[in-house]
């Protein structure tokens, strides 16, 4: 079979070849008759159209083909590594021990510069501390009361419904205390920065001992390769042993950074655990409903799908009937 088909292919090739030779001969003979008419014009036309085609491809690539960067790589900052965050996995929740430690790091280190203005004390209850602990923390700060009968506003100790207070009276005071830079609110920081947890972790742990040779660091700024522009107004804040964890965890720089980042992830999306649980419920119930819907569909269609349609032509009458004269005629009637 193979041999035969290859034989046929060879024959076809031979035929094509002889055909091509014939055409070439014919071309040559026709060219020789009308010798040099327009040959340089043909060449020029061919050359210019080739140049035009190449030029337009080049122009198109120049316009649309190259990747466009809004910032240079240096301006954008070093891309953070991807860390295997436990709490980001689909079937994992926040670790509440971590949240408690992270809040401790925020309170003892970050809260002197950064506000956490979207977090009331009541949300800490059950997530990282008891009611009494949260009440005690709230009472450490004073808040304004409603105006009394004389219209005076007095001070009262904080309650669970109060929000974590800002370290500065206003943005201007914050800037004045930080060399002109405003420490941003950290409540939604994990969602507000490209790279989320990975970025903040890298930022906190990424301060080199010395800026690399050749790096230009403006006065009042600190070198951090992960920060866009590499010059950040926040100095390195986490050092080994800076806080005393009550659960005995060793407070290394990376441990504190990890804890505070997970805590900031909680503050940015406190509903994450509920959302994941709801997601699993939806998947489970949706899966069962889907299976049932397939079964119902098969149940409803079974009569249609298992039906066998036969075409039974009506018997022909008259002289054209093929078996009119044959033996079968009596059988058909
Ligand atoms: C001494 C004050 C100070 C402390 C303490 C401090 N920060 Fe900052 N932080 C700043 C300032 C100022 C900026 C603004 C930097 C800038 O814009 O150059 C900043 C910026 C940031 C940013 C935003 C970076 C960006 O991409 O814009 C994050 C995230 C951050 N700090 C996290 C923390 C965390 C977490 C802690 C606690 C572990 C902390 N900071 C402690 C002063 C501080």
pLDDT band at 162 (very low <50, low <70, confident <90, very high): very high
19 is written with which tokens?
């055909």
H or E element at residue 8 = helix 2-33
Q: Are residues 326 and 195 in the same domain?
A: no
Per the model's pLDDT, the better-predicted residue between 310 and 257 turns out to be 257
Best residue for ligand 1 mutational test, from 113, 190, 202 (most atoms within 8 Å of Cβ): 113
Round to whole Å and give the CA distance between 234 and 166.
Answer: 17
Average pLDDT over all residues of the chain: 87
Q: Are residues 91 and 201 in the same domain?
A: yes
H or E element at residue 144 = strand 142-144
User: 263 CA distance to ligand 1 centroid (A)?
Assistant: 15
Q: Please give the tally of structural domains in the chain.
A: 2
User: 232 CA distance to ligand 1 centroid (A)?
Assistant: 8
Average pLDDT over residues 56-60: 94
Q: Is 110 annotated as a binding residue?
A: yes
Per the model's pLDDT, the better-predicted residue between 97 and 38 turns out to be 97
Q: Which atom of ligand 1 is nearest to the CA of 189?
A: 29
Q: Are residues 85 and 228 in the same domain?
A: yes
Domain end, chosen from 251, 270, 289, is at: 270
> Percentage of the chain surpassing pLDDT 90?
72
Is 189 within the bounds of a domain?
yes
Best residue for ligand 1 mutational test, from 234, 238, 256, 262 (most atoms within 8 Å of Cβ): 234
Q: What is the pLDDT of residue 320?
A: 67
- The CA angle 135-141-144, to the nearest 5 degrees, is 105
User: 114 CA distance to ligand 1 centroid (A)?
Assistant: 7
Among 168, 157, 169, 174, which Cα is nearest to 121's?
A: 157
Among 102, 171, 160, which Cα is nearest to 133's?
A: 160
29, pLDDT greater than 70 = no
Domain end, chosen from 254, 270, 286, is at: 270
Beta-strand pair 222-223/155-157: unpaired
- Exposed e or buried b per residue across 187-208, where buried means at least 16 C-beta atoms within 10 angstroms of its C-beta: bbbbeebebbbbbbbbbbbbbe
Is 307 within the bounds of a domain?
yes
Pocket of ligand 1 (CB under 6 A): 105, 109-110, 112-114, 178, 181, 183-184, 189, 193, 200, 203-204, 227, 232-234, 237-238, 260
Q: What is the pLDDT of residues 250-287, one digit of tens each?
A: 999 999 999 999 999 999 999 999 999 999 999 999 99
325, pLDDT greater than 70 = no
Q: What is the pLDDT of residues 3-21, one digit of tens each?
A: 444 444 444 444 444 444 4
Q: Are residues 108 and 245 in the same domain?
A: yes
Is 2 within the bounds of a domain?
no
Cα separation values, 219 from 133, 171, 285, Å: 42, 22, 59
Q: Are residues 170 and 196 in the same domain?
A: yes
Q: Are residues 94 and 83 in the same domain?
A: yes
Q: Is 197 annotated as a binding residue?
A: no
Phi and psi at 330, nearest 5°, equal -70, -35
Residue 281 domain boundaries = 271-333
Q: Which atom of ligand 1 is nearest to the CA of 111?
A: 5
Domain end, chosen from 221, 236, 270, is at: 270
Q: Are residues 102 and 233 in the same domain?
A: yes
Q: Are 77 and 215 in contact (CB under 8 A)?
A: no
CATH number at residue 93: 1.10.760.10
Is 147 within the bounds of a domain?
no
Q: Are residues 212 and 95 in the same domain?
A: yes
Among 228, 249, 201, 300, which Cα is nearest to 69's?
A: 228
Alpha carbon nearest to ligand 1 atom 2, residue: 113
Is 176 within the bounds of a domain?
yes
What residue ranges in 154-221 does DSSP mark as E strands?
155-157
Average pLDDT over residues 304-322: 81
37, pLDDT greater than 70 = no
Cα separation values, 289 from 275, 278, 294, Å: 21, 16, 9
Is 24 within the bounds of a domain?
no
Is 156 within the bounds of a domain?
no
**Beta-carbon count within 10 A of 225 CB:** 18
User: 316 CA distance to ligand 1 centroid (A)?
Assistant: 95
Q: Are residues 247 and 327 in the same domain?
A: no
> Percentage of the chain surpassing pLDDT 70?
82
Is 18 within the bounds of a domain?
no
User: 168 CA distance to ligand 1 centroid (A)?
Assistant: 14
Q: What is the pLDDT of residues 73-131, one digit of tens each?
A: 667 788 899 999 999 999 999 999 999 999 999 999 999 999 999 999 999 999 999 99
How many residues comprise the chain?
333
User: 200 CA distance to ligand 1 centroid (A)?
Assistant: 10
Q: Are residues 245 and 179 in the same domain?
A: yes
Q: Are residues 174 and 231 in the same domain?
A: yes
Q: Are residues 225 and 288 in the same domain?
A: no
């Amino acid at each position: 079979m193979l041999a035969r088909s290859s034989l046929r292919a060879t024959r076809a090739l031979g035929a094509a070849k002889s055909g091509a030779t014939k055409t070439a001969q014919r071309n040559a003979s026709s060219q020789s008759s009308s010798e040099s008419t327009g040959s340089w014009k043909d060449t020029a036309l061919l050359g210019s159209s080739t140049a035009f085609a190449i030029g337009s491809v080049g122009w198109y690539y120049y316009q649309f083909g190259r990747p466009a960067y809004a910032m240079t790589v240096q301006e954008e900052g070093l891309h953070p590594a991807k860390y295997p965050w436990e709490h980001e996995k689909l079937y994992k929740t926040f670790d509440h021990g971590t949240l408690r430690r992270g809040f401790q790091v925020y309170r003892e280190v970050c809260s002197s510069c950064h506000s956490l203005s979207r977090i009331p004390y009541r949300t800490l209850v059950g997530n990282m501390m008891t009611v009494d602990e949260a009440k005690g923390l709230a009472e450490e700060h004073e808040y304004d009361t409603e105006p009394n009968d004389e219209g005076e506003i007095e001070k009262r100790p904080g309650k669970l419904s109060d929000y974590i207070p800002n370290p500065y009276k206003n943005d201007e005071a914050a800037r004045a205390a930080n060399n002109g830079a405003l420490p941003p609110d950290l409540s939604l920081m994990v969602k507000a920065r490209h790279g989320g947890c990975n970025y903040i972790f890298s930022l906190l742990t990424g301060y080199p001992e010395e800026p690399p040779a050749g790096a230009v660091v403006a006065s009042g700024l600190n070198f951090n390769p992960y920060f866009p522009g590499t010059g950040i107004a926040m100095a390195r804040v986490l050092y080994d042993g800076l806080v005393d964890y009550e659960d005995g965890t060793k407070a290394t720089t990376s441990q504190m950074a990890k804890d505070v980042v997970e805590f900031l992830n909680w503050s940015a999306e406190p509903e994450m655990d509920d959302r994941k649980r709801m997601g699993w419920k939806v998947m489970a119930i949706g899966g069962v409903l889907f299976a049932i819907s397939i079964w119902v569909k098969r149940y409803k269609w079974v009569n249609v799908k298992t039906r066998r349609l036969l075409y039974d032509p009506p018997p022909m009458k008259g002289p054209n009937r093929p078996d009119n004269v044959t033996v079968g005629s009596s059988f058909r009637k």
